[in-house]
Structure 1
Amino acid sequence: MTRRINTLAGILLVLASAAGPVQAQSRGDVQRIVAVVNDEIISEYDIKERMQLITSTTGALRTQEEYDQLRKTVIQLLVDEKLQVQEAKEQKITITDEEVNQRFNELAARNNISAEQFSQELARMGASKEAILAQVKAGLAWEEVVNARLRPFLAIGEGEVSAYLDNLKSNKGQPEYRIGEIFLAVDSPEKEAETRQTAERLVRQIREGAEFSAVARQFSDIATGAVGGDTGWVIGDHINPDIRTEVLKLPEGQVSDPIRVTSGYYIVTVADKREVLSADPDETQVDLQQIVITPTADADAQRQRIMAATSTIKECSDIPRVAAALGASDQGSLGTVRLGDLPPPVNRAIRNLQIGQATEPLKTGTDVRVLVVCGRKDAEVREPTAAEIEDFLSNQRLSMMARRYLRDLRRDAIIDYK
């Protein structure tokens, strides 16, 4: 009996196999102190663990120069995390192991796998669970600090909310954009070249297949990094003026070159487009089934054979017949999925399909998969609530305040690089 497929791990898992010049180190090397941040150390081991986690996420490093650039970036990331956790302690904020493990479990659930499977996947790629837990703890600590210290000073008035909604209504039918953003801060002229090189490397890796959201979580210096760089839906007039020109001319699904702004570099992508106050396609619910096929040496010939076979699918009862004809390694139901929860490439492949239609073959990890829509419930048109608008405006303002807060912590810290 064909087992029921109950995960989207092959589609949603953002971690990919790592490779590159991560160098072997002796025990003495990994215990070497690299930096001291207000009397707390960062060791070579800490750097090695984070680099392995990042290369597992963003893909291989090609050259020694890229390795050196990433190492500098990782040191700065770890310094910032030390400062964030230290500030949480200063503000009497405690992050428990239970909270950290809960966030880890949420990361696993986001990929429709268990926490144990997530740990196993990390181990398989040579990345440790401890490295991601340390990052999670720093992220939680900073969220609490920002909420405790900055959010009380936010004041989004009813007038601002009303003006935003009036603007939406006056722009009804105009284009609206779902933007992904990564921001790399340049805090001093000395970091200009290094940050530019990092931005260029990240763009290349995203274009070569690294998941934009995963890169944003690891590298972005603004609050949207915590949600994979997702800004939500923004009409053209409300797009950050620094990046608006690039966003408006960027084809959907593509990533921009690094965009230099006053305080750093942006990397942006347009994940989706729609019309203002139209139905949100991300809210569409689809019932999916999949056919999983083992790749062959002749990928082009296999692709043509798969497309010929799946074109005969008229309804989902045809799937077992087609799967058998293709010698599928597996097939079954993925259940009901919200389009907005799928990675952008998969979202785009499915969004316009009707019941009984199949995607083109999708390369996911070590498999080739075809997804078939077996049920579909399109979203309804609705206006955003006042609370949603207030939350959107608050997060925009909070992101800027948090960046200034961290900059001040860096300025006041005693940081000794060894």
Structure 2
Amino acid sequence: MTLRINTLAGILLLLAGAAGAAYAQSHSDVQRIVAVVNDEIISEYDVNERMQLITSTTGALRNQEEYDQLRKTVVQLLVDEKLQLQEAKEQKINITDEEVQQRFNDMAARNNISADQFTQELSRMGASKDMILRQVKAGLAWEEVINARLRPFLAIGDGEVKTYLDNLKNNKGQPEYRIGEIFLAVDSPDKDVEARQTAERLVRQIREGADFGAVARQFSDVATGAVGGDTGWVIGEHINPDIKDAVLKLQEGQVSDPIRTTAGYYIVTLGDQREVLSADPDDTQIDLQQVIVKIGSDPDAQRQRIAAQAATLKECSGVGQLASSLGATDSGSLGTVRLGDLPAPVKNAVRPLEIGQASEPLRTGTDFRVLVVCGKTVSEVKEPTPSEIEDYLSNQRLAMMARRYLRDLRRDAIIDYK
């Protein structure tokens, strides 16, 4: 079973199989105290359980060095959660058991399973419901702390909103990018090597198939981690200068090498690209019909014949006649589909077509398929509203303030690593 967990608290995407977890478990005394955070303890058991869940997300640990790197990262995650819960208590913010349980239930429901099934799946992977509930509670508590302590001091003026919108209009037609980011903060020079090694490991695991969004939710030190690292659409000139060169070199779906900045390491991926205030081609709705022809003894000659006849098609009313003339084994409507949801070969074949035009023959298994566009609806382009712009600018600023807040909590806390 594969579960997708997507919560504001940044819980993991859980993938089947917990390779590497047994390695961690066999190397530890679960009763040992790992750290004390302002008189509250973190045990080896806590560390092992979180590592088990993380290795289910990012893949197996290959050696002792990777185990040691991940363990340091997990300890810091658990320390931060302790600090977040302690700060919530200091601010007299109470997260009830009912709120936490409801979030747990929502997580299960989004995966089309019951809360009991979710609990059983966690147990199968060597994790527990209690561990997830603790992580959820820390996330909810930190969210409330940020809203109470920082959001009231945010002031996005009308001038800033207008400047942002004017800039969009001035850049109409220029490229903008949907970027995913993971940021690993380096708060002191002695943490640099550890952060770099962690970043390198995460890049490797993402390239080997680990879900970028899941890794971002668990490891990223910026607010976008809660939404899988998604920064939304960013105009080229507004891309963070620290990562801009790397982003512009990426093809859709590629992941960068770790990028060192003054504050830490970025890992970025390019999700999509479009033009500012222009319709996203992937959002175009296309009504497709298809003609399927079984491949014969001379595929090359057959392909040329099919392509020549398909090129004569002028309107969709002729699809039936085309199918008959080609000796098709099947033909008919595929319905209306979003261009961006089509497999890449199909998407590339139909994207340039006008209504009534047929594609070149596509070879699929033992068949040739000709696709015919019989309707096309381009998505409507809407300018973002002032409130949407204000929310975007506020969240950007809030993310920076929240990171500084947590850094200050670390600095002021009494943390004893055992």
Correspondences of 1:96-175 after superposition (within 5 Å): 96-175=96-175
The residue aligned with 2:392 is 392
Distance 2:284 2:201 in 1: 35
CA 1:144 to 1:127, structure 2 compared with 1: closer, same or farther past 3 Å?
same
2:240 counterpart of 1:240: yes
CA 1:25 to 1:243, structure 2 compared with 1: closer, same or farther past 3 Å?
closer
Cα RMSD for the two superposed structures = 3.7
Structure of larger gyration radius: 2
The residue aligned with 2:263 is 263
The residue aligned with 2:196 is 196
What does the per-residue CA deviation read over 1:60-111, in whole Å, with 9 as the maximum and x for residues that have no partner?
A: 1111110111001000000001001110111111112222223233333444
Query: What is the count of residue pairs matched by the alignment?
Result: 356
Does the aligned pair in 1 maintain the 2:84–2:138 contact within 8 Å?
yes
CA 1:191 to 1:338, structure 2 compared with 1: closer, same or farther past 3 Å?
farther
**SS of residue matched to 1:22:** helix
Distance 1:376 1:114 in 2: 40
- Residue identity matched to 1:228: G
Does the aligned pair in 2 maintain the 1:151–1:398 contact within 8 Å?
yes
Question: TM-score w.r.t. structure 2 length?
Answer: 0.75
Distance 2:337 2:113 in 1: 15
Offset, 1:22: 3.4
- Residue identity matched to 2:186: V
CA 1:285 to 1:39, structure 2 compared with 1: closer, same or farther past 3 Å?
farther
- Residue identity matched to 1:386: P
CA 1:168 to 1:37, structure 2 compared with 1: closer, same or farther past 3 Å?
same
Unaligned runs of 5+ in 2: 7-12, 288-327, 352-358, 365-374
Does the aligned pair in 1 maintain the 2:2–2:15 contact within 8 Å?
no
2:71 counterpart of 1:81: no
The residue aligned with 1:30 is 30
Offset, 1:112: 4.5
**SS of residue matched to 2:122:** helix
- Residue identity matched to 1:173: G
What does the per-residue CA deviation read over 1:299-340, in whole Å, with 9 as the maximum and x for residues that have no partner?
A: xxxxxxxxxxxx97754689xxxxxxxxxxxxxxxxx99999
Question: TM-score w.r.t. structure 1 length?
Answer: 0.75
CA 1:180 to 1:174, structure 2 compared with 1: closer, same or farther past 3 Å?
same
Does the aligned pair in 2 maintain the 1:9–1:113 contact within 8 Å?
no
Task: Report percent identity of matched pairs.
Answer: 77
Q: Which has the higher contact order (CA 8 A, sep 6+)?
A: 1
Distance 1:416 1:18 in 2: 30
Correspondences of 1:209-358 after superposition (within 5 Å): 209-280=209-280, 314-315=331-332
CA 1:16 to 1:354, structure 2 compared with 1: closer, same or farther past 3 Å?
farther
CA 1:360 to 1:377, structure 2 compared with 1: closer, same or farther past 3 Å?
farther
Unaligned runs of 5+ in 1: 1-6, 288-310, 319-335, 362-374
The residue aligned with 2:371 is none
**SS of residue matched to 2:84:** helix
